[in-house]
Chain A
Amino acid sequence: MALHRGRGFAAINYPIGMNLGGDPSQALVHSNPDGKFTVALSAIDLGQGMKSVTRQIAAETLGVPIEDVYVDTADSDTGPHDMGSFASRGTHRMGNAVIQASLEARSVMLEAAAEELEVDAADLVTDGRGNIHVKGAPSRSITTMAAAQAAQFKQGRTIAGRGIFLIPLSEVDPETGEMTPVSCFAHAAMLVEVEVDDETGEVAVLDMQSAYEVGRALNPKLVEQQLRGGAWMGMSHAIWETTEPYYPSREHGPKDFNSYLMPGPGDLAPHHISVLERPAPDGPYGGKGPGEMCANPVLPAVVNAVYDAIGVRIDDLPVTPEKVLRGLKAIGGARPRKAL
């Protein structure tokens, strides 16, 4: 009886969003008379960072401080339509809609400023600190608040913008079956080291090395957080979690947190993450979506590592001790591919 170490590798392509119905997202942006902006979305932030990234994208596009942007994701009854927060689509889909809406609002804001400064709107620039001034002449300036107040109380303009992002629905070619369901892919590769106990069948993940290609990391700390937490969940799905251990039978299925197995903080493997930035041509400021794909490479990498360690090829997740032991029995004992 022995512990066997193995290494496994996996690489994935991950499509951002989906194509059903064209996968639209809308955004509405407007300024209040104090020069602060509200972005209305119906995409929900459950902690994944939708609000933070939306603020960044809107502030960058409007040319105002990030503190001056408020993101309202309150209500899908009253907000602009959105397909929702899933499929890693938030940054890419909503981000593009927010850029379009912010550009329209910015152009009205510059028209209002131009009228106050008695110049051409095309000659105006923003400094990102709450001021609008004539290009090359910073002294001829007006604050965004003054421009917003002039628009509201003097000029009768609405500083607002509408945005939508829609990928034309891809039809399937009846002859070839060819279609283009996805415009944007993220990528990842992962190397996992495991230790398999051939007496108990237990698998422990010892080390994870990964590279994730996420377009431009619009908020690097949030990206890292997502990758780290999501890879943990991938590890959990690889060797622990299932609602139907004997699918399709519900026998021995978990009923609560006491029987639904998950790795705790004592089961962590060091995870070394490299983020590769290749700005996406159709992404907002190059961003893609790191959402779900953080978990995806872990599962095949763990299965490959188990195969490397003991010669058992498991094709049914999660890799439970029972499956490992049955696999070992079937091949007459562990057959490590090679000593590490």
Chain B
Amino acid sequence: MAKKPVNFTLNGQDRAAFADDGQNLLEFLRRAVGDLSPKYGCGQGACGACTVLIDGETQLSCLVLAETVDGKAVRTASGLAAGALDPLQTAFMEHFSAQCGYCTPGMLISARALLDHNPRPTRDEVIEAISGNLCRCTGYEPIISAILAVAEGRVRA
């Protein structure tokens, strides 16, 4: 099987790795690059656990061909804490927004993308932003509350 070199940035750092022919970005990140924060949920773009940012836009990494991120900037939940926790991470802890935690990296990325584009979202906009991310534990309300708390500046840095 042919392997293709992929040069990209992961959470701001230059990375290079070989992608298998047809390998999706989720497998590539987890197996070839070693970033385990994007999770495999359904493998068909229905659960959002594998959500990452590619050039600032949310993408489901299970549906993206790894080789297509060559030259692009990928961000994952493992890069959110740069020195200190991202306010979203703090808010998720304060609002008990994770239980089993499997959806959390995808939720955080979807929320980060929302706030990067729209720092003062309404509740409906928050709901829209996370509507592609399934959670089976929390009932969503604590996640919505955490994101709104960050948007409204109610989270200590």
What is A's interface to B at a CB cutoff of 8 Å? 46-48, 221-222, 224-226, 228-233, 256-258, 262, 264-266, 268, 271
Minimum CB–CB distance from A59 to chain B (whole Å) comes to: 20
Q: In the complex, are the beta carbons of A266 and B131 less than 8 A apart?
A: yes
Known A-B contacts A225-B96, A256-B42, A258-B44; the reply to A268 vs B136 at CB < 8 A is: no
Minimum CB–CB distance from B68 to chain A (whole Å) comes to: 24
Taking CB atoms, residues of chain A closer than 8 Å to B139 are: 228-233, 268, 271
Extra pairs beyond A229-B137, A230-B139, A266-B127 (13, CB < 8 Å): A47-B100, A47-B101, A225-B96, A228-B138, A228-B142, A232-B138, A257-B41, A264-B127, A264-B134, A265-B140, A265-B143, A268-B141, A271-B139
Q: In the complex, are the beta carbons of A257 and B46 less than 8 A apart?
A: yes
Minimum CB–CB distance from B50 to chain A (whole Å) comes to: 13
A-B contact pairs, 26 of them (CB 8 A): A46-B100, A47-B98, A47-B100, A47-B101, A48-B99, A221-B96, A225-B99, A228-B141, A228-B142, A229-B138, A232-B141, A233-B136, A256-B42, A257-B46, A257-B134, A258-B44, A264-B134, A264-B140, A265-B126, A265-B130, A265-B143, A266-B127, A266-B128, A266-B131, A268-B139, A271-B139
List B23-41 residues whose CB lies under 8 Å from chain A.
41
Candidates B101, B137, B140; contact of A268 at CB < 8 Å: B140
Taking CB atoms, residues of chain B closer than 8 Å to A264 are: 127, 131, 134, 140
Minimum CB–CB distance from A225 to chain B (whole Å) comes to: 4
Measured in the bound complex, the distance between the Cα atoms of B142 and A268 in whole Å is: 12
Count the B residues whose beta carbon is within 8 Å of the partner chain — how many? 25
The 10 closest A-B pairs by CB, nearest first: A232-B139, A257-B46, A47-B100, A47-B99, A265-B140, A229-B139, A225-B96, A265-B127, A229-B138, A266-B127
Closest to A270 in B: B141
Taking CB atoms, residues of chain B closer than 8 Å to A265 are: 126-127, 130-131, 140, 143-144
Taking CB atoms, residues of chain A closer than 8 Å to B131 are: 264-266
Taking CB atoms, residues of chain B closer than 8 Å to A222 are: 96
Taking CB atoms, residues of chain A closer than 8 Å to B46 are: 256-258
